[in-house]
């Protein structure tokens, strides 16, 4: 992980922390963690990164960390460090990490009705079905009408490294809002995924915060929701 930055406001009570992951020489991938301040002043950290001490101080200045979430099979690399840093926080993880990261020992897995999310009244969690190897959950911050996802869509308009650009072009996700072909390859039940994405699109969001790339807001490209539907169009055309 390189080039970590400070907290950046995204919406009311939501901040992003953006870093650049160096996966190999000439392959740099932008990545984002999201911090949400809840009504009681506590914080929810979505997809934690490797925080430096300056960033930790900025986070803690916002309030006590109450929840840490690993929302899919891929965004877990720095969860253990976050759990160690804030041991009083409740940690929740995607079910894909049950066997992949048994060392994390979450308080509960997302979707487990025996361990309901205590922040659900403010931040609604919705599963993406049909992709068990990813098992992503998207989060909707009701007050700011913000949708937070990890790999459902990318919005990488530019990045460093020719290998990164080559990979993203081959994946159909460079320079535009799109879902990578890798996620499509991991989809075992397209009808189930389509139903999940329809449920996501029924949410009343005005912005989308992906883990990779730019925040998606209404601009010259048009309203947000039709653009997300277009990025996911392969599911709807096959489900029709």
The model's pLDDT over 4-38, given as tens digits with 9 standing for 90+, comes to: 667 899 999 999 999 988 888 888 899 999 999 99
C-alpha–C-alpha distance, residues 145 and 9, integer Å? 15
Give the pLDDT confidence score for residue 216 in this predicted structure.
Answer: 96
43-71, pLDDT tens digit by residue? 999 999 999 999 999 999 999 999 999 99
Separation of alpha carbons 176 and 119, rounded Å? 32
Parallel/antiparallel/unpaired status of strands 14-24 and 8-11: antiparallel
What pLDDT score was predicted for residue 114?
Answer: 82
User: 157 pLDDT exceeds 80?
Assistant: yes
Q: What are 232's two structure tokens? A: 């996911």
CATH of region 8-111+123-239: 3.60.15.10
**pLDDT tens for residues 118-135?**
999 999 999 999 999 999
- What is d(CA 124, CA 139) in angstroms, rounded to the nearest whole number? 6
Return the structure tokens found at 84: 């160690």
Q: Are strands 216-217 and 146-148 parallel, antiparallel or unpaired?
A: unpaired
Amino acid 3: pLDDT: 54
- Give the model's pLDDT for residue 236: 87
Instruction: State the pTM of this model.
Output: 0.94
Kindly report the average pLDDT of the chain as a whole number. 94
Report yes or no: 128 and 134 within 8 Å, Cβ to Cβ.
yes
What is residue 4's predicted lDDT score, i.e. its pLDDT?
Answer: 61
Within 13 Å of residue 228, how many CA atoms lie on the same side as its CB?
28
pLDDT at 26: 84
Question: Where does residue 40 rank: exposed (0-12), middle (13-18), buried (19+ CB within 10 A)?
Answer: exposed
Beta-bridged to residue 155, according to DSSP, are: 213
CA angle 235, 73, 9 (to 5 degrees): 85
Give domain limits for the chain.
8-111+123-239
Give the model's confidence band at 239: pLDDT under 50 very low, under 70 low, under 90 confident, else very high. Answer: very low
d(CA 209, CA 147): 6
Q: Which residue shows structure tokens 């989060």?
A: 139
| CB-CB contact of 206 with 224 (8 Å) | yes
- Using DSSP's 3-state secondary structure scheme, residue 203 falls into coil
1 pLDDT band, cuts 50/70/90, is: low
- Position 6 scores a pLDDT of 75
Whether the predicted pLDDT of 189 surpasses 50:
yes
∠ CA(168), CA(169), CA(170), 5° rounding?
90
240 band by pLDDT with thresholds 50, 70 and 90: very low
| Sheet architecture: strand order including 8-11 | 8-11, 14-24, 27-37, 43-46, 65-70, 90-93, 108-109
Percent of the chain with pLDDT over 70: 97
CB atoms within 10 A of CB 88: 7
Helices within the chain (DSSP H only): 53-62, 79-85, 97-100, 162-170, 181-185, 190-201, 224-231, 233-239
């Amino acid at each position: 992980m390189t080039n970590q930055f400070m907290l950046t406001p995204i919406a009311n009570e939501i901040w992003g922390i953006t870093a650049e992951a160096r996966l190999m020489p000439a392959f740099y991938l932008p990545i984002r963690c999201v911090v949400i301040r809840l009504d009681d002043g506590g914080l929810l950290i979505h997809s934690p990164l490797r925080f430096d001490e300056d960033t930790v101080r900025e986070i803690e200045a916002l309030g006590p960390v109450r929840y840490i979430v690993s929302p899919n099979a891929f965004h877990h690399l720095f969860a253990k460090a976050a759990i160690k840093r804030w041991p009083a926080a409740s940690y929740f993880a995607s079910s894909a990490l049950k066997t992949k990261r048994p060392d994390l020992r979450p308080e509960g897995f997302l979707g487990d009705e025996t361990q309901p999310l205590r922040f659900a009244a403010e931040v609604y969690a919705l599963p993406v079905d049909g992709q068990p190897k990813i098992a992503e959950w998207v989060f909707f911050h009701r007050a700011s009408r913000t949708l937070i996802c990890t790999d459902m869509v990318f919005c990488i308009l530019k990045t460093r490294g020719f290998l990164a650009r080559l990979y993203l072009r081959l994946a159909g996700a460079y320079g535009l809002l799109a879902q990578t072909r890798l996620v499509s390859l991991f989809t075992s039940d397209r009808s189930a995924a389509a139903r999940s994405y329809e449920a996501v699109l029924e949410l009343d969001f005005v912005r989308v915060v992906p883990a990779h790339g730019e925040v998606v807001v209404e601009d010259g490209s048009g309203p947000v929701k039709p653009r997300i539907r277009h990025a996911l169009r392969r599911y709807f055309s096959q489900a029709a």
